[in-house]
Structure 1
Amino acid sequence: MTLRARIVGTGSALPKNRVSNDELAKRVDTSDEWIVARTGIRFRHIAGDGETTASLATEACRKALDTAKIAATDVDLIVLATATPDQTFPASATKVQAALGIDDCIAFDVAAVCSGFLYALSVADSMIRSGSARTALVVGAETFSRILDWEDRTTCVLFGDGAGAVVLRAEEGDSGILATALHADGRHNGLLYVDGGPSTTGTVGKVRMKGSEVFRHAVTNLASVMNEVLDRANVVTSDVDWVVPHQANARILDATARKLGLPAEKVIVTVDQHANTSAASVPLALDLAVRDGRIKAGDLVVLEAMGGGFTWGACVARI
């Protein structure tokens, strides 16, 4: 039998403060109509005092462990994807480890922005298949609101905060992660980036984006990597039960589905409720669809994302 990393639990966490487009319009020159027409976003959650990337990640991990009925002390690997860590160092994954009461396990962060969860999932999958770990927490968590320029209406309306997590367990059988594919192309750094950093400006910086260019690359790259990962898994589009995409923009989701010939009803959409939560968006959407009963045991699911870098990737998993 083949040893695979199987998703045995999911969890998510959102800040208490839920902000509508109308509320946002009170502080930014925008409107509900403008935001919905261009993005499909209606709400986002914004982290408040005491809510950090690590605290949201910890809550999502606890829920995922509860769903999996696995004790935190059984975890031997934590991979946390984030572009907004609590500190420059140490890794926010180690803060999650301590908060969960785990005395010793492998714990580190991955930085690939919106693709971060796919990168983290691939790393954990490889470590499980190699025997380096048996039980892993893979987390995407962000407090993107803290790096937004709230005077730039073209970017600040797009993002929200949150966390999502999965528990991976080494199991023999047909279920689990069947294939992953990852890519990066640093030539496009200037299309989506933060204009700061410890090594350059000594400041955190703010998000900057050329939206129309990002849109064009996203549709092309996501369709390509999904076809690639389906080929690697030896399945075809008609075999797929659900696609859980990065929740960046409703128009990107629609365009990617059309390019692949996927029916819209197979695509999990949460961007209207959560906005773009970067590395958290895929696991957040996955958890929602598992908990509301759409995604069931045995379903074939494709996860995909693209983010700054550019980085992009996809995964095929039998739940």
Structure 2
Amino acid sequence: MENTAFSAGRPRGLYPPVEPYDAGYLEGESGHRIYYERCGTPGAKPAVFLHGGPGGAIAQTHRQLFDPARYDVLLFDQRGCGRSTPHASLEANTTWHLVEDIERLRQLHGAERWLVFGGSWGSTLALAYAETHPQRVSELVLRGIYTLTKAEMNWYYQRGVPQIFPDKYARLLAPIPVEERHDLLAAYHRRLTGDDEAAQLEAARAWAIWEGETISLLPDEEVSGKFHDPHFAVAFARLETHYFVNRGWLEDDQLIRDAGRLSGIPGVIIHGRYDMPCPAQTAFRLHEAWPEADLQIVEGAGHAFSEPGILERLIGATDRFAA
């Protein structure tokens, strides 16, 4: 179940910073323009990176998860966030729109098949894409598994994690009247899609900060800092609640149920033992449904990809598949 072997000679940590050799926009319906960039060596092993959220964005450090000499990796900001426009737009923005965007980007890349790398919400999207287009996936590298089930959302927003972080949860509750707190997700969604801009910004900041301050095992201002930025927070909170109230346009437990479609795809599942947003049970269930994948439970780690134990495993996976 657990494989701790890594490529010989590769030091732990990210590859050196690299700049894109190409960048542009993919045009989508309803005015969406999806920003993408390509890094590494043209014609090398094709890969796509799927960021978290929904509503996160790609960053310099995401490029550094791949050996630039051996990969030709495409990274993109999903609809409504990062450098994609319109900012925080919910129109024509569903899991299945994003799956189609990935396919169009694959065609733009010119790859018949590519390695798909996704963490957190990116793992959800990676599974949805791979189960829809298994013939287009050469390998899967998944981190912090999340499948958008009602049980997972209740764990993070209602019953489980609030008992571990009661002080931080009190700040998440603060913008919401007592009579609405039984369904915090719905209450936030109302405010984030309403016309009151002040209430929207207050809700966005509270929602984003809750996540930013609970994703690492120990407090890490470098990880949580971006969640305090209002521009980032609005897209992040609006898109997360939009996707979550709609359960990702997935049937409950659909991604685990359909994991048999991944048969024959080499894969690695990397999950922190103390991951708060995404309980390790989900990663274990995925492995039970897809037993040929290599499950790596990382002790002494939370959710953030930058935590040393998780980062080492991710680099080990991309190095191994490059070989």
User: TM over 0.5, yes or no?
Assistant: no
Larger % of strand: which?
Answer: 1
Greater fraction of residues in helix: 2
TM-score (norm 2): 0.29
The TM-score normalised by the length of structure 1 is: 0.29
Larger RCO: Structure 1 or Structure 2 (Cα < 8 Å, ≥ 6 residues apart)?
1
